[in-house]
Structure 1
Amino acid sequence: MSRLTLYQLSANYLEALDALTDPEADLPAEVVNGTLEALSGELEDKAINVAKFLRNMEATAEAIKNAEADMNKRRRILESRAKWLKDYLKGNMEHTGISTIECPYFKLSIQDNPSAIHIMDEDAIPDRFKEPVTTWRINKAAIRDAIKAGETVPGAELANSTRLSIR
């Protein structure tokens, strides 16, 4: 006998209920009760099994959610350690005056970063470099352009830094 789906069992149950409770069918009460009990048992068994499957899916989803959180935490730790190692290596290369190291696998080199604006005193920054946000925000790109054009911007300076490149 083929297994019926929950939906099919529900439809069969309703059809049997309609047929068995039809006043013109003149079926004995024990036939009606026996048929309804058999259908009810199948429907209850199917519903219990579907509920068990549902609980299993929910538990699997929760386990995946926990694994994602654990993996996210591990990823953040690895990223932090990698940044520390990169800074450590860069610092040691700069300290010893070595700017390039080559090997068959990659090339390490100390490279200049694009100039960055270092704000020393926000209050000293002229209003033309302040953009309204909730209060105001300093437009570092405009300050950088002004300093590169030779202008002195009170409260700001152009700072250069380096980074370690691994190719």
Structure 2
Amino acid sequence: MATLYELTEEYRQLLEMMEDDTVDPEVLQDTLEGVDGEIEAKADNCAKLIRELNGVTSVINEEIERLKARKDVISNNADRVKKYLEKAMIDTGKRKFKTALFGFNIQLVRLPVLQIGRSTGCGFLDILRRILSGKSKRRLMLPTRRCLSCTTR
């Protein structure tokens, strides 16, 4: 069976033959039926391939969603265990210690938050620029939060 490219070329040649009045009409009809049949078979095969590829794409998308959900569950479990260990360390008063494998430490982490106060009619970006340039009396407040640090030894 010819390739789709070859069939397309044959079809173009057939169209040129149709414009030539010296070609026998029976030869044209036979050639047209042969090319049409092969092109239709190729088109069917291409459609089957397209459906198969679209099906594979759907399966891959479903697998991606399944893996994302699994990742979220595992990440949430890791966070839960970390909070459990942090609470146990606080309750026992052991805020810093080392084991044979890891070092553990509960430390305060500063979180940057912009405290603007009363509005002076300036835009947010203007206020931020003044704060960063040191031209404003407003300041960046840095609240703290506890965070468990676990390092490998």
Task: State the match for 1:81 in structure 2.
Answer: 77
**Deviation string, structure 1 residues 39-85 (Cα, Å, up to 9, x no partner):** 11111111111111111111111111111111112212222221121
Please give the secondary structure, in 2, of the residue aligned with 1:126: coil
Distance 1:82 1:131, change over 3 A: farther
**Structure 1 unmatched runs, 5+:** 134-138, 145-157
Match of 2:69, as an amino acid? K
TM-score by length of 2: 0.74
Alignment partner for residue 161 of structure 1, among 137, 140, 145? 145
SS at match of 2:139: helix
Which position in structure 2 is the counterpart of 1:66?
62
Whole-Å separation in 2 of the counterparts to 1:12 and 1:60: 33
For 1:126, give the aligned amino acid.
Answer: R
Contact 1:17 1:36 in 2 (8 A): no
What is the root-mean-square deviation in Å for CA atoms of aligned residues?
3.0
**How far is the alpha carbon of 1:116 from its aligned partner?**
5.9
**Structure 1 counterpart SS, 2:110:** coil
Match among 100, 108, 115 for residue 112 of structure 1: 108
The residue aligned with 1:126 is 118
Which amino acid in 2 is paired with 1:105?
A: L
Unaligned residue ranges in structure 2 (runs of 5+): 125-130, 132-137
CA distance in structure 2 between the aligned counterparts of 1:35 and 1:115, rounded to whole angstroms? 78
Cα 1:21/1:43, change in 2 over 3 Å: same
2:20 is paired with a residue whose SS is coil
Mapped contact 2:112–2:140 kept (Cα < 8 A): no
The corresponding residue for 1:136 is none
Structure 2 SS opposite 1:113:
strand
Which residue number corresponds to residue 142 of structure 1? 139
Which residue of the partner structure matches residue 103 of structure 1? 99
1:49 to 41, 45, 49: 45
Amino acid across the alignment from 2:92:
T
From 19, 23, 30, the counterpart of 2:17:
19
- The aligned amino acid for 2:6 is Q
Conserved? CA contact 1:115–1:159, under 8 Å: yes
Identity of aligned residues (%): 26
Matched residues in 1 for 2:84 and 2:108: separation?
Answer: 17
**Which stretch shows the higher mean deviation, 100-109 or 10-19?**
100-109
CA displacement at 1:126 relative to structure 2: 3.4
The number of residues matched between the two structures is 141
- For the pair 1:36 / 2:28, whether they are aligned, the reply is no
SS at match of 2:94: coil
